[in-house]
């Protein structure tokens, strides 16, 4: 003897609308912005370290070629947010040895990882390792701001509906 119980909750449209708006806003917009600001801490640290290594007599600057890029492939495949931090240009010099400012710096790999005849002088890996706490706190602070903004926007959207 199974008794069925049915009930209906009314008035949830506003709440569901707010939850949808907050979920999208926080994960996509706010999460991406917070992650970018946190990653910029690592970029700046890497640039500071690279400037100490750069040869001032040539126009090539590893620090100028350090960049932050959105990882669209990761996002498309998994839905996770991600940024890549690295040194621009390829590993091969094209058009000879251009020494002008902002020219390619493929030698950064030799410095970062070393060779059999030269010890490594890493600057990228320590840039991340030494700034983990600052990156984490920046991300948390910025993400909290994004959540607060998303809640305010969702409240406005719910009030106008």
Domain ranges in the chain are: 33-160
Quick one: 45 exposed, middle or buried, by C-beta within 10 A (0-12, 13-18, 19+)? buried
Supply the pTM of this predicted model: 0.76
Kindly indicate the confidence band of residue 45, based on its pLDDT and cuts at 50, 70 and 90. Answer: very high
Q: How confident is the model at residue 25, as a pLDDT?
A: 66
DSSP conformation letters of 94-152? -SS---STT---TTHHHHHH--SSS----SHHHHHHTTHHHHHHHHHHHHHHHHHHHHH
The rounded Cα 74 to chain-centroid distance in angstroms is: 12
Distance CA 50, CA 60 (A): 11
pLDDT per position as a tens digit, 59-116: 778 888 899 999 999 889 988 888 999 888 766 666 666 666 667 788 888 888 899 9
pLDDT per residue over 122-158, tens digit each?
Answer: 999 999 889 988 988 898 888 888 888 877 877 776 6
């Amino acid at each position: 003897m199974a008794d069925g119980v049915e009930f209906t909750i009314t008035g949830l449209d506003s709440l569901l609308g707010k939850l949808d708006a907050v979920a999208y806003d926080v994960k996509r917009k706010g999460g991406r912005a917070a992650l970018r600001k946190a990653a910029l801490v690592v970029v700046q640290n890497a640039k500071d370290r690279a400037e100490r290594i750069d040869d001032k007599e040539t126009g090539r600057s590893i620090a100028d070629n350090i960049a932050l890029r959105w990882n669209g492939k990761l996002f498309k495949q998994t839905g996770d947010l991600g940024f890549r931090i690295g040194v621009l240009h390829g590993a091969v010099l094209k058009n000879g040895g251009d020494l002008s400012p902002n020219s390619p710096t493929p030698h950064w790999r030799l410095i970062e990882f070393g060779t059999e005849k030269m010890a490594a002088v890493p600057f990228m890996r320590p840039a991340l390792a030494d700034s983990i706490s600052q990156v984490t706190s920046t991300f948390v602070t910025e993400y909290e701001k994004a959540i607060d903004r998303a809640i305010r926007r969702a409240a406005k959207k719910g009030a106008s509906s």
